[in-house]
Amino acid sequence: MVKASMIRFFGTIFIFIILLFLYPNDSQSYRDLPDNNLSYPVLLVGKDGSTGSGFFYNKENAIYLITARHVLFKETSLSVPKEFAVPPALKHKFDIREGETNQHRIVCFHGVMSTREKTELLNAAPKAYKFSFNKAIEQLYRESQKLKLKSDGIKLFSHGQQDEGDVGLTEIEVKLPLLYERGQVKYHPSHDVAFIKIGIPEIVSDHGRMKFLEGITMRHGKSVIGLGKENFKLLKDVIVGNQVFVFGYPTSITKVNPWLNIKLPLLRKGVVAGINEDLKTIILDCPSYGGNSGGLVIEAERSSLTEIKYRAIGLITNFVPYQKDWFQNSGYSIVVPMDFVEELIAGSTLQ
């Protein structure tokens, strides 16, 4: 008994000494998240006053602003008979709200409707309303094939390290119609993600910098800091239960609270709650609010006792509502994986 107690005692002392070496007791403070990660989030403000979140993303041949599709583009809306039927497999593509009369509803379809989805809708139409339903479905299909911009211009704000370690606000003005016409603003047809091509990297006197595209104007600041081209992981590698950090600008909160600065990002911390393999989405146990759409999500993955890897896994697209007496925020959020950011940039599914 005494021998066992002695072994436990000296074992505890040994572990304590090891931990002292691993985590030295000095005056330096360590942040849970790498400093440069705090410079990633971007606030988007449209001329119509709409807002959203996003992040800069560095690739070999270009720098992109990544955000949710619905931040930049209008979704297709239509007034339909109240009996309009949506198959269960397509409910995630629709929002349905009350119309101007009791006989009608307003349906909003997200993204570009495929011929398969159109066929599923046509097959779900009640026989008694076949004619009116078919007409509405055909119109939804036709109008969704090319989405319209929400605004003819936006401003981008980011807050982070500038040259020589300075911290400040960067403001960039974007002429959306010009870039859209030139194919430098694109959206994914089936997933809620879009990009704006901001500039191209160039080397000047052995120093890297960015050449802005025509239609992009730096109004304030010196540079932008983006997510590294390899600093992400695909859906298949996301680990349920790992901690995540959500970056963004929840303007629905900051606009009404005087102690919050609308132009400063807010972080939230949560966990990967699950993965929907059928819809190719990630579910977070972390609340999001209006303005968070397009915000970057970073997963913390412990690779050893002393090392944690921080990798982007996707972007916030919406919160998960639940209905009691009215729709409320469940505290869960939906994330589009980085797979579809990569797919969009690669051009394999561009409209």
pLDDT tens for 329-342 read: 767 889 999 999 99
As a whole number, the mean pLDDT across the chain is 84
Q: For the chain, what's the residue count?
A: 351
pLDDT given at position 115: 95
CA 139 from centroid of its chain's CA atoms: 29
Lookup: tokens for 16 = 């304590």
Cβ–Cβ < 8 Å for 286, 270: yes
Burial class (CB in 10 A: 0-12, 13-18, 19+), 27: exposed
Cβ–Cβ < 8 Å for 121, 129: no
Domain spans, the chain:
35-73+149-346, 76-144
pLDDT given at position 103: 79
- Give me the residues of the chain with pLDDT under 70, please: 1-36, 128, 160-167, 203-209, 323-327, 330, 348-351
Please provide the distance, in angstroms rounded to a whole number, between the alpha carbons at the two ends of the chain: 74
pLDDT given at position 165: 46
3-state helix, strand, coil split of the chain in percent (to 5) is 25, 40, 35
Strand partners, 51: 45
* Helix residue ranges, H only, 225-280: 251-254
Determine the Cα–Cα distance for residues 331 and 217; give it in Å rounded to an integer: 37
For residue 55, the tally of other CB atoms under 10 A from its CB is: 28
Lookup: tokens for 20 = 């002292």
Angle at CA of residue 188, ends 297 and 216, nearest 5°: 80
Cβ–Cβ < 8 Å for 43, 263: yes
pLDDT given at position 205: 46
Long-range contacts, 342-349 (Cβ 8 Å, 24+): 342/232, 342/234, 343/188, 344/186, 344/187, 344/188, 344/193, 344/194, 344/195, 345/59, 345/64, 345/195, 349/188, 349/189, 349/190
pLDDT tens track for 154-209:
999 998 655 544 457 889 999 999 999 999 999 999 999 999 999 988 754 444 56
Topology of the domain comprising 35-73+149-346? Thrombin, subunit H (2.40.10)
